[in-house]
Structure 1
Amino acid sequence: MSFAESFRALDFLEQAQALHKLQTEPSGEALAALMPLFQEPTGDTAADTMVRNSIRTLLQKAPESIISGLEHPHLPFAALCRDLAGEMQLDEAAPVLVNQLSKTSDSASLHETLTALGRIGALEAIPVFRDHMRNADPVVSSLCIQYLGMLGDTGSIPALSDIVAANETEERYAVCDITTWAAIEGLGRIGASAHAPALSELARFIHHRNPEARRIVQETFVQCGVTAIPHVSPALLDSDKDCRIMAANALRDIAHKASAEPLINALEQGAASDPNVGFAIYEALGRTPGVKSLVALTDALPIEQEPTTLLAVVHALESLTSAVVGKRFLEIITDRMAARDQQAQRILQAVMEAHAVKLFPHLYADPVAGRILVSLILKSKNTETMQVFLDALAQCQGELARKDEAAIRMGMPRDEADRPKLLAIDDSTAMRNFYRTHGAIIGFDVTLAEHGRDALDIVEALNGTFDVIVVDMNMPVMDGIQFTEKLRAMPLYATTPVLMATTESGRSQATLARKSGVSSFLPKPFTPEMLQNRLGKLLERAKR
């Protein structure tokens, strides 16, 4: 009686013991004994699973059986061998699998064979992946693109670039398809393998027409890190200001000191003449520590007057604060006060908005600057801001500090629960600071989020609704358009006013935002008065 016949007559525990004993036999003989059970299962799920697992174990001990099994007439066994060849990265399997692809017609088998080849990582599979990178099935094409990226195939760079460019046409830019997504990441993987042309090619799409594609490009550059800096940097001087902003944001998020030189060069070339570009560059310099960054930021402090741009400068200096920076900061304020211009007041307002608690002790010690700062804190009407500076004052010595603590405690707002609720979403810390401060001053209870996914988590956890939402367009993780689409799918937020504050200047971007459900737009940069006016109009319209 054969093993298979006797196996079928055993109970479950006896079957387990028989399989365990069989695995001590030579692999070839054991596999031959088990094949009838694999080809004609018992019908008992537990027993059939044990048989399959036993065959896997035996094959893993005998790679040559996997190679020969790739062409076994019993297709499920051949499929098992194919999966194991990929799992074990058997180079010897690659020629057989490549040959099989020429005979494969069904999509499922094609996908599985390509997956096995990709997991093996054999260079001889590159022509096959190139052949199928434009397959009609987007899952197959994106899979091939993924493996071309992993293999660092420089020969596929032009084709990958063409795929990304095709997604910018009038007919296709509204949606980022999975093939485009894969092509962007593929260029990033090739570039990360020290193949510079791939990253230079990817930089062409730093301001891709589709917001999601734009986000993926940004995240790909950040993943590449310092390697990407020389390829992103030329976009800082692009004729398109949106490209300049996206380049500065990428360098901000890469956060490496090597970014300082191209950022400062862009400032010297006049990039900050556009306040949105200046904002992005100054914020990026705050993430690139070094003497050059400090010099550029302190040079900007006495001259930048636009509120949000100045806030970016102060926030950047706060992140780089030392005793030397604090001393220089106070010198600039003292100099501006002596000149009797309004810049000192603007700078101190930005210190308050930025929650610049590292700079605060240096400024509070000055009899004039300290009094102005306390006055601004009291006028903020924001509990979070007042508490932050209360904590900072607790570290200061002297009777005056105790009096100021008492005054701030007395000035804490008592009626925040009755205020309309504002959710402000922006990946820029400086902009979130702006919303927190001026949203409170104009009468809102303000909640902040760093990106769309963060905001959705807040919305889903909230009991009740926000009265109005302000959202940026370009953010990591989830952009403003994606967020708005998901928000509008929630019954409670179907008609909530959504104000999109953005640097984007293209009409196509506004069209996409409108389709997602955005109610109105506020071009950056804007003043507190402009924000108040737009929010007021949206709330009035919502009440009608």
Structure 2
Amino acid sequence: MATLDDFRSKEFLDQIMVLNEISGDKDAENLPGLIDLLKNPVGDTSIDYMVVNALNAVLSSNEDMVIKGLSDTHAGLRTLCIRVAGEHGFRRAAEPLVAIAGTEKDPDQLMDILNSLARIADPSVTPVFRAHLGHDDPFIKSACIEALGRLQDAGSVDSFKAMIIESEAPDRYEVCDITTWKAVEALSSFSGEETIGFLVEKLHHKNPTVRRIITDALTNMGKPTVSLLLKAFESGDIDMRILAANVLGFVGDRSGADGLVAAFDKGQADDPNVRYAVYEALGRIGTMKGIICLVDGLHEPDELLLMAVVGGLERHVNPGMTAALTGLIAKGDDQSDRLAKAVIATRATTIFDALYENAGAGDALVDVLAESRDQEIIDEFRAVLDSIGGSRAEDDLDRLPQVAAGGRQALAADDSRSMCAMHRAILTDLGFEPFMASNGEEAYDFIEQGKDFEVIITDMNMPVMDGMELVGKVRHTPGYEEVPIIMVTTESEASQQDMARKAGVTAFITKPFKPEALKAKILEVVGG
């Protein structure tokens, strides 16, 4: 007796047991009965759904029936066979799927066919994907781009480049569409010098989100990008040098650090924004030459640059660096005070621990710490003093204040540790309780948690979610339609301020800036 005999007359629970049994056995003898149930449903939603699942399971072990079903007149069976063919990589299904794709007019069905062909991943199907690169539906177009990238179709590289170039057109650059995103990812699957060079060339794309996607792509490509990034650093404008240095820091290859130090020595980092980016990159990589360059940077008079230097050295504490920094802080001049503030603001606890044994340097650091209004930072260094122990440390612990939590909250998002440190110091000085995030996604998480921020500060360029995306999400969040948002930009990004204003940015501050300038801007937008 066949498993599905008298199925329609069985009780509900018995029908479930039968279909579960068929799903497990995958016996092809049940195909005719399952197809009949698909074409002539029982009428119970739960049972009809289980019929589809059982049919899917049986078809997964029967390639011949799947291929036959691709030409069936019943739309449901045909769609199921299209999906099963892709899910299980049935290569013999590629040819009939290609034929169907050539005549299919329904976008949803075409997407199913293309997705299945992409999963089958037979190089012979590349003409189908190329043929639909100009499709009006952006999702169909994107599926084709993604498939051609996976298939390493060199013949499509020029098309991908053209899409990225066209995305900078005056009427298009304000929005990063899915096809541009997929074109960048597809190009990054080719590791040749030509494609890497193109992506480096487009590193300062007009759209911040595309910049972020290209940055991520180059970072993931790793060491092969280093030589071309260094060339771009040497020959590019200020923006290119900043972005190239950032990517070299993310890649983390020693040759990138050595190249940046060489460029630094040639005077190619005279601009403070470029120098800041180089210091951050050298801190991430941590070569001997890079650390020496950072130690030389301890003489920088600018607070933000010093934070970048100290933040970089915090990752690579060694006796030589410790001796140099101890001598500078113990000196007792204006630079000593700036350095001590940088150590505390960047939460450089390892440097603090190494310097504390010197009374002059240790006292200078504790003096700054005792003036802090940031309880979180005070507690972090309190733990270091606790671990050091001794009567001197106990006396210094007694000097540390207990800061009452403020009622006002502020949010700052930046992927730079030193920039976050500066934002934090400024916000606490103004009486805000600061919440810090390294990208837009982390920042928006705080908002979703129900935090009530009086002001938001965000960088334009960040990984994961950039500042423009963050602003757009914030402005579409109930209660945040009018909250002041300050965006931090470089001088050359001023041309994109109109786009940022349209997204909902309240005010801008241009790097490099002094802490007093940002304080004044915050007071301006929050009303004093």
CA 497–54 in structure 1, closer or farther in 2 if over 3 Å, else same: closer
Contact 1:424-1:448 at 8 Å conserved across structures: yes
Whole-Å Cα distance in 1 between the matches of residues 431 and 214 of structure 2?
38
Q: Which amino acid aligns with 2:456?
A: I
Whole-Å Cα distance in 2 between the matches of residues 46 and 497 of structure 1?
51
Whole-Å Cα distance in 2 between the matches of residues 533 and 74 of structure 1?
69
Q: In the TM superposition, what is the alpha-carbon distance from 1:376 to its structure 2 partner?
A: 1.5
Whole-Å Cα distance in 1 between the matches of residues 478 and 2 of structure 2?
65
Whether 1:76 aligns to 2:76 is yes
Contact 2:26-2:61 at 8 Å conserved across structures: no
Whether 1:449 aligns to 2:437 is yes
Among candidates 279, 288, 309, match of residue 285 of structure 2: 288
Whether 1:241 aligns to 2:228 is no
- SS of aligned partner of 1:270: coil
Whether 1:344 aligns to 2:312 is no
CA 64–40 in structure 1, closer or farther in 2 if over 3 Å, else same: same
CA 88–298 in structure 1, closer or farther in 2 if over 3 Å, else same: same
Whether 1:379 aligns to 2:379 is no
Whole-Å Cα distance in 2 between the matches of residues 61 and 501 of structure 1?
57
Whether 1:325 aligns to 2:321 is yes
Among candidates 427, 430, 445, match of residue 439 of structure 1: 427
Which residue is equivalent to 2:249? 252
Q: In the TM superposition, what is the alpha-carbon distance from 1:413 to its structure 2 partner?
A: 3.0
Q: In the TM superposition, what is the alpha-carbon distance from 1:398 to its structure 2 partner?
A: 3.6
Whole-Å Cα distance in 2 between the matches of residues 275 and 25 of structure 1?
69
Contact 1:23-1:30 at 8 Å conserved across structures: no
Whole-Å Cα distance in 1 between the matches of residues 61 and 233 of structure 2?
56
CA deviations on 1:239-270 (whole Å, 9 max, x unpaired) are 32122222222223333444322322332232
Whole-Å Cα distance in 1 between the matches of residues 338 and 282 of structure 2?
20
Identity of aligned residues (%): 35
CA 424–2 in structure 1, closer or farther in 2 if over 3 Å, else same: closer
Whether 1:517 aligns to 2:504 is yes
Among candidates 331, 352, 355, match of residue 347 of structure 2: 355
Whether 1:131 aligns to 2:127 is no
Among candidates 469, 477, 480, match of residue 493 of structure 1: 480
Whole-Å Cα distance in 1 between the matches of residues 525 and 237 of structure 2?
31
- SS of aligned partner of 1:502: strand
Whole-Å Cα distance in 1 between the matches of residues 88 and 164 of structure 2?
33
Whole-Å Cα distance in 2 between the matches of residues 104 and 155 of structure 1?
24
CA deviations on 1:191-242 (whole Å, 9 max, x unpaired) are 3xx3443222222221110111112112222333334434433332343212
CA 29–323 in structure 1, closer or farther in 2 if over 3 Å, else same: same
What TM-score comes out, normalization by structure 1 length? 0.89
Q: In the TM superposition, what is the alpha-carbon distance from 1:469 to its structure 2 partner?
A: 2.2
Whole-Å Cα distance in 2 between the matches of residues 268 and 151 of structure 1?
43
Q: Which amino acid aligns with 2:164?
A: V
Q: In the TM superposition, what is the alpha-carbon distance from 1:11 to its structure 2 partner?
A: 3.4
Which runs of 5 or more structure 1 residues have no equivalent in the other structure?
Answer: none
- SS of aligned partner of 2:436: strand
CA 403–36 in structure 1, closer or farther in 2 if over 3 Å, else same: closer
- SS of aligned partner of 2:143: helix
Among candidates 461, 465, 469, match of residue 474 of structure 1: 461
CA 41–397 in structure 1, closer or farther in 2 if over 3 Å, else same: closer
Q: Which amino acid aligns with 1:54?
A: A
Whole-Å Cα distance in 2 between the matches of residues 24 and 507 of structure 1?
63
Q: In the TM superposition, what is the alpha-carbon distance from 1:521 to its structure 2 partner?
A: 1.2
What TM-score comes out, normalization by structure 2 length? 0.92
Whether 1:529 aligns to 2:516 is yes
Whether 1:417 aligns to 2:379 is no
CA deviations on 1:133-158 (whole Å, 9 max, x unpaired) are 12111110011011111122222111
Q: In the TM superposition, what is the alpha-carbon distance from 1:103 to its structure 2 partner?
A: 2.0
Q: Which deviates the most, 119-128 or 48-57?
A: 48-57
- SS of aligned partner of 1:469: strand
